[in-house]
């Protein structure tokens, strides 16, 4: 039986997950935490097999935190359980080291399926994203998945914010970097995605299923 730690800022969510997993023979929820400091303390002390985590946990830096967690606990399996739709952050989460991504809007049977699959060492993404990954080629013949793999997690964050219409100053404040660094990321994105303008860059973002941040 796999052990699970739930990290969510809303106690009702962690209590709900614990409740729906109470009577099963494949997983045991051993603890729940509601902040980043408590998360790392619990990971160190309890050493769970699986972490179910939201990317908006206070004092945790979203998708980039997954990479940090995997570096410190490489054997840990991570399932992101988020209010954000899968198409917004799922690929970024997997690239950062997560084993699955599921939206909180999914029905209970899908949640159970995702947890079971990740606990057993698999990867969980919804059918639509899996299909797009398998057939991610445009009419022009470009392989979108290979383009996506060229982007760093920070570049994806910048691209999301650009797609949402944010100015360099807004992006710098949101990501706690300076405006010159934002300009550097934009230049890298233009080159990596073979885009000729900001509008073209946003189009590329949509083709890559990297959607604007809400």
pLDDT tens-digit profile of 150-209?
Answer: 788 788 888 878 876 788 898 999 899 999 999 999 999 988 877 777 766 765 665 554
Domains assigned to the chain: 2-131 (3.40.50.2300), 137-207 (1.10.10.10)
Residues 6 or more apart whose CB falls under 8 angstroms from that of 89 comprise 55, 63, 80, 82, 101
Residue 138 confidence (pLDDT) = 39
The DSSP output letter for 195 is -
Average pLDDT, the chain: 81
How many beta carbons lie within 10 A of that of residue 97, not counting itself?
A: 18
DSSP E strands: which ranges in 12-146?
A: 27-33, 50-53, 77-82, 100-103
pLDDT tens-digit profile of 120-154?
Answer: 888 888 877 666 555 543 334 345 556 666 788 78
pLDDT tens-digit profile of 42-96?
Answer: 999 999 999 999 988 888 877 788 888 988 998 899 999 988 877 777 877 887 8
Rounded CA separation 170/178 (Å): 10
């Amino acid at each position: 039986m796999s052990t699970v730690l739930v990290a969510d800022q809303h106690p009702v969510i962690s209590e709900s997950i614990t409740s729906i997993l109470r009577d099963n023979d494949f997983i045991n929820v051993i603890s729940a935490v509601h902040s980043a400091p408590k998360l790392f303390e619990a990971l160190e002390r309890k050493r769970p097999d699986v972490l179910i985590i939201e990317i908006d946990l206070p004092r945790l830096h979203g998708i980039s935190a997954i990479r940090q967690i995997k570096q410190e606990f490489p054997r840990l399996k991570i399932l992101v359980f988020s209010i954000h739709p899968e198409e917004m952050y799922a690929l970024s989460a997997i690239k950062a080291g997560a084993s699955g991504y599921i939206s909180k809007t999914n029905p209970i049977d899908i949640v159970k399926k995702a947890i079971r699959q990740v606990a057993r060492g698999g990867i969980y993404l919804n059918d639509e994203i899996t299909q797009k990954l398998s057939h991610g080629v445009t009419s022009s013949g470009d392989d979108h998945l290979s383009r996506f793999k060229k982007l760093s997690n920070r570049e994806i964050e910048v691209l999301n914010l650009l797609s949402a219409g944010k100015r360099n100053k807004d992006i710098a404040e949101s990501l706690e970097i300076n405006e010159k660094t934002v300009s550097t990321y934009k230049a890298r994105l233009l080159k990596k995605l073979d885009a000729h303008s900001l509008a073209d860059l946003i189009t590329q973002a949509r083709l890559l299923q990297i959607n604007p941040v809400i």
